[in-house]
Structure 1
Amino acid sequence: MLGAMASDFQRRKISGVFGAMDADGDGFLTEADFGALTARWLDLRGTDAGTPAGEKLAAIMMGWWGTLDDAAGRGGKVGLDQVLEVVDVLPAMPEAVTGTAEAMFEAVDENGDGVISAAEYDRMIAAWNGVGTPSGDVFALLDSDGDGRLSREEFTRHWFEFWAGDDPAAPGSSVFGRF
């Protein structure tokens, strides 16, 4: 095992996202799970993969699946322990984390205005968690400058805190809602 073992806190927060992404509940993430997540997100936006925005979202999400599958050894299915092994090495690979943050920012910023609104953020949370999760308080926590929107820098910092951090008090620990 590379690096330190995931802490109980990291295991809890990653398990929450993993469970939400495991659409068929088989205990593994697969290409089909990422397809289901993408379809759910497009549906919440009221569009489909045939539109330019839908095509972009689908490309980002399915690209993320490819990256995760590669990192876990290209087995076509990725278990929670494999995800946690990847998470263990992320602090030493900040560029990999900020790269996925950039892609996710593009996916969440539906209207392409360079910021994420509370409504755009709510749709991301609902898509990832599969249920509408009250996210107003979380959005306010993430909006560190209080301007009512998330800048690319705010989003990237919080994305890194979620995936590579181990601080329950860090705002980014709640980027996918509270677990």
Structure 2
Amino acid sequence: MTSVQDLKYRQWFKGADVDGDGVITSRDVRLMGERYIAARGAAPESTTARRLTEGLDAFWANVIAPMDRDGDGQVDLREMTEGFRQALADPALYPQQVGPVADCYFDLIDLDGDDRVDQEEFEEIFSLAGNVSSEDCAAVFSALDRNGSGGLDRAEFHQALTEFFYGDDPDAPATHLFGRIAA
């Protein structure tokens, strides 16, 4: 893992540690989803919310929980960093590891259901639920909207997440997706 990836993963960890206790638990992963669902005003029993909850449960079970090396039911920053080094080493596994959860988040962010996320939708969800500043959201959105269409389609969204989780370029558009990283 490169130092850029380490910084990005630390930033992701800060957002994933929803209760701020220094570890990620299955409850934190669930709370991430609930935070997005609440910010969007989606009903917890809606199809999208249910899919997101199921996807996050699978993300916990298949990606995060195996990082718990000491078996205490929680993952600290060291365990997560080492785990990401192993679990996210191969971008070819994105469709199984990150893709399903990313699709659920895309559906939640796409409030008007036009199969694209515009800047307002992007900023609303990442600033309210992701604790990313509006200024950072605007800059990241502009960089991710590579074709200048004013919206991110599902492929662009997946490209951003692939770039964030697997990339090591500090100047890549998705580097600051979950908040500005310290260089």
TM-score (norm 1): 0.82
Residue 157 of structure 2 corresponds to which residue in structure 1? 155
Q: Is the 8 A contact 2:22 2:77 kept in 1?
A: yes
1:169 is aligned, of 158, 161, 171, to 171
Q: Is the 8 A contact 2:102 2:158 kept in 1?
A: no
Name the amino acid aligned to 2:42: T
* 1:130 to 1:48, Cα distance in 2 relative to 1, 3 A: farther
Q: Is the 8 A contact 1:60 1:107 kept in 2?
A: no
2:103 is aligned, of 80, 95, 105, to 105
1:42 is aligned, of 29, 37, 44, to 37
Name the amino acid aligned to 2:67: A
Q: Is the 8 A contact 2:133 2:179 kept in 1?
A: no
Q: Is the 8 A contact 2:33 2:52 kept in 1?
A: yes
Shift of 1:72: 1.3
CA RMSD of the aligned region, Å?
A: 2.4
* 1:105 to 1:120, Cα distance in 2 relative to 1, 3 A: farther
Structure 2 gaps of 5+ residues are: none
State the Cα deviation string for residues 48-84 of structure 1 (Å, max 9, x = none): 3222222222222232222223431583211222222
**2:113 pairs with 1:116:** no
| SS state at 1:174 partner | coil
TM-score (norm 2): 0.80
Residue 12 of structure 1 corresponds to which residue in structure 2? 7
Residue 82 of structure 1 corresponds to which residue in structure 2? 79
